[in-house]
Amino acid sequence: MQGSVGNEPKIRFESQGGWLENAGIVGLARILGKDCYSIEGNSLLVKMEALNNFTRNYFKFFINEYGRQTRLVRITNEGAAKKLAKWQALDVDAVDPKVIYNQLENWYKNYLKYYVDSGSFKKISSLAPPAFDVKATLKECSQELKNLKKLQKNKQEFNEALQQLAGKLLNFTNYFQHTKFNNLDLKDYFMAKTLSYIVINNAWSGISFLNPQAKTADLYQDYEDTFVKPVIEYLKADHQKDVYQCAACGRPLKKQEYPYSFLNGLGYDVNRKTSNAWLFNNDQFMCPICRLMYTAVSAGFNYNMQHQGIFINQNQDIATLISVNGKVLTELERAVERKQLVSPWRAFAQSFQEMFVDSSKYSLADIQVVNYQDGQYSFNLVSKRIANVLKKANDKQAFVSSSGQVFTLLSALNSAYIKNFRGQSSVSLYEEMLKRLLISMNLNSLISDTLQLKIVRNPDLHINVYQIYNLIQINLLYFKEMSDLALTDEELKKMRGSGKNLGEGYDNENKRQSLAYQLLQALKTQNNDQFMNLLLNAYLYQKKLVPKNFIRKMSSQEEFNQLGYAFIAGLIPNIEKSKEEK
């Protein structure tokens, strides 16, 4: 990244392909908006005047993007005050004590009291102290809420107590919603403080307002002083006699002042861990312009509120880089709006499907996917072969719904998930498939797990047998791309049909389930002889012929496995009616 200095009107951030710098560049674009930057080749050119409002725009991005997912929004938005005002003016005949009390108690304990008792409230409220005694009023409200619970059988007394309590609670909502500080709404300070712990500190910490010993509660001023002002001073200074260089961009430096130690999982304490540097002499220092960019990494990543994030390092050009990650962020926003699972991996999967629609614009191969999970980064590369697998899976039709909507092998998996699986509250089948493919791993274990859960009728499995078969078809695409596997999709389809035909010959579904379970265990241990013995007995019992393909493929373990999975998928009773049959 070569930076403009002196009186030049723009600051240049040039992409060298590194994921961290690219995430910072995407973050800058998101923070500033299109009016404040332009793209020239592989560079982002930021207008100098954008620095004047950079701090406010920095926090504004996080508030707009993530604020609605916080508890705090239930206090700072206008809805809380309107609800309290409505209750305060409620006619006694319209009162439903039980409903009102449950709503009020939930809001008071889980939102208002929870936040007012927090250290964040104490710090930010010191900037603009309320015109009332917060602690005393909160204590009074807690007691009145207890009294309100006892009055639920008397609507008149309940209504009178409700109106008095609502009046006191309005003091809090008015304070949060209407107090100003430093020409900003104080609620922006509260929200920025909350998000600094949930989102911003995913990428960096330890300095400025993320330093536990920060001297000022004004995080806007702290960020301005720490990151923005040094950039302005740097651009005004004469650098002709500078002897050092920025390790990130090569800009000249008068002194080695800003190390990488504030970046989570990447930098190290240069004072305590000198052995990390060559000959104990650290020379990894950056200029203030790059340091500002690195603080924007938190804005460039696509996070949920559980310290999980994803970044697509698409190196085609900056415009594509911004656009591709913008698709992921849009999918996260949609999940929030629809009250669905907010998962960065799921958002990536959804956006990846959109990229296939315009594959002439996006190069799907060699995309680096950076995954963030609880302070740790992991990296995957979408190889050309895996991109081909996903492209074919997205092109291949799975079924057409009754409304005429076409589902591909990929899109058919969108609604499939498992609850309470391996320590996670919810696991998307699409995500698990994608994670395996990105490390060039086959889907055998995932298919086996879902088949077993289906066989034992696990209530937490929200996947039908057709979606499992779609997964088996994708697995076949993987093997055909990665090896010389001769198995065809038609053979797979016939084997599934054979399993279905055999299953329909059982009057007792428990016998059908038991056979499916035993066959799956034989596949897991790669005991082909046991698998065939079970199959022969089952076919002899129904006086039917065993499918010849099993016998032909016994010498090819992987082909045998895929046929076995397809057969079991057909054998399992289809309890829920599929979209194909609607």
Query: Are residues 420 and 338 both part of a single domain?
Result: no
Angle between helices 384-395 and 429-438 (to 10 degrees): 150
> Is 147 inside any structural domain?
yes
- Residues 495, 572 within the same domain: yes
User: Which pLDDT tens digit goes with each residue over 394-411?
Assistant: 889 998 888 888 889 988
Q: Which of 562, 388, 557 is nearest to 471 (CA)?
A: 562
Q: At what angle do helices 78-88 and 155-178 cross, to 10 degrees?
A: 150
Inter-residue contact 570 to 499 (CB < 8 Å): yes
Q: What's the per-residue H, E or C state across 176-212?
A: HHHCEECCEEHHHHHHHHHHHHHCHHHCECCCHHHCC
CA distances from 16 to 246, 294, 308, 372, 539 (A): 14, 14, 25, 21, 63
- With a cut of 50, say whether residue 314 has pLDDT above it: yes
Tokens in use for 249? 């961009």
- In tens, the pLDDT along 482-528 reads 998 889 999 999 999 999 999 999 888 889 999 999 999 999 999 99
Cβ neighbours of 165 (radius 10 Å): 22
Mean pLDDT is lowest, of 95-104, 187-196, 336-345, for 336-345
| φ, ψ of residue 127 in degrees (nearest 5) | -70, -40
Residue 455 in domain: yes
Report, as an integer, the average pLDDT of 251-273.
78
Q: pLDDT value at position 276? A: 46
Same domain for 361 and 442, yes or no, is no
Last residue of some domain: 159, 185, 211?
Answer: 185
Let me know whether 492 and 550 are in one domain. yes
Examine the fold and report which residue of 137, 158, 185 is the final residue of a domain before the chain moves on.
185
Domain membership flag for residue 198: no
Instruction: Tell me the backbone φ, ψ of residue 53, rounded to 5 degrees.
Output: -115, 20
Residue 418 sits in the same domain as residue 511? yes
576 shares a domain with 465: yes
Residue 271 has pLDDT above 70, yes or no: no
What pLDDT is attached to residue 482? Answer: 93
Q: What are phi and psi of 374, to 5 degrees?
A: 50, 50
The pair of structure tokens assigned to 355 is 């990229």
Same domain, 448 and 529: yes
In a domain, 224, yes or no: no
In a domain, 490, yes or no: yes
Instruction: Please identify, among 185, 216, 234, the residue that sits at the C-terminal boundary of a domain.
Output: 185
Cβ neighbours for 548, distance < 8 A, ≥ 6 positions apart: none
Q: What is the pLDDT of residues 200-239, one digit of tens each?
A: 999 999 999 999 999 899 999 999 999 999 999 999 999 9
| 330 has a pLDDT exceeding 80 | yes
pLDDT number for residue 569: 96
Asked whether the beta carbons of 373 and 308 are under 8 A apart, the reply is: yes
Q: Answer whether 321's CB lies under 8 Å from 15's CB.
A: yes
Structural domains in the chain (count): 3
Per residue in 114-140, pLDDT (tens digit) is 999 999 999 999 999 999 999 999 999
Q: Residue 162 belongs to what domain range? A: 69-185
- Taking residues 182-203, report their average pLDDT: 96
Phi, psi at 13, each rounded to 5°: -120, 105
Within this chain, do residues 426 and 326 fall inside the same structural domain, yes or no? Answer: no
Q: Per residue in 366-384, pLDDT tens?
A: 789 999 998 899 998 888 8
Q: Is the pLDDT of residue 98 over 80?
A: yes
Rounded-to-integer distance, Cα 58 and Cα 220, Å: 9
Under 8 Å between Cβ of 503 and 573:
yes
Gap between the Cα atoms of 489 and 492, Å rounded = 5
- CA dist 67 and 188 (Å) reads 10
How far apart CA 394 and CA 391 sit, in angstroms, is 5
Is pLDDT of 532 > 70?
Answer: yes
CA 504, 510, 515, 520 torsion-angle sign: positive
3-state SS, 247-312, equals: CCCCCEECCCCEECCCECCCCCCCCCCHHHCHHHCCCCEECHHHHHHHHCHHHHCEECCCCEEEEE
Query: Which residues, at least 6 apart from 304, have a Cβ–Cβ distance to it below 8 Å?
Result: 332, 342, 343, 344
Residue 469 domain-assigned (yes or no) = yes
- How far is the C-alpha of 274 from the C-alpha of 503, rounded, in Å? 68
DSSP 561: H
Does residue 443 share a domain with residue 535? yes
Q: Is residue 489 part of a domain?
A: yes
Please name the helix (run of DSSP H) or strand (run of DSSP E) that holds residue 461, with its range, or none.
Answer: strand 461-462
Asked if 327 contacts 351 with a C-beta cutoff of 8 angstroms, the reply is yes
Look at residue 438 and tell me if it is in a domain. yes
Position 364 confidence tier, pLDDT thresholds 50, 70, 90: low
* pLDDT for position 495: 94
Alpha helices by DSSP H, listed for 483-573, are: 489-503, 509-524, 528-541, 548-552, 557-571
Residues 6+ apart with CB under 8 A from 137: 168, 171, 172
Q: Do residue 337 and residue 425 come from a single domain? A: no
Amino acid 150: pLDDT: 95
Considering the domain architecture, whether residues 322 and 470 belong to the same structural domain is answered as no
The mean pLDDT of the chain is 89
Cβ-Cβ contacts under 8 Å for 67 (sequence gap 6 or more): 73, 191, 195
Q: What is the DSSP string of 398-443?
A: EEE-TT--EEETTGGGTT-EEEEETTEEEEEHHHHHHHHHHTT--S
CA distances from 526 to 42, 446, 519, 520, 562 (A): 51, 16, 10, 10, 12
Residue 374 sits in the same domain as residue 433:
no
What pLDDT is stored for residue 3 in this prediction? 43
The three-state secondary structure class of 216 is coil
Q: Please state the rounded mean pLDDT for residues 3-11.
A: 58
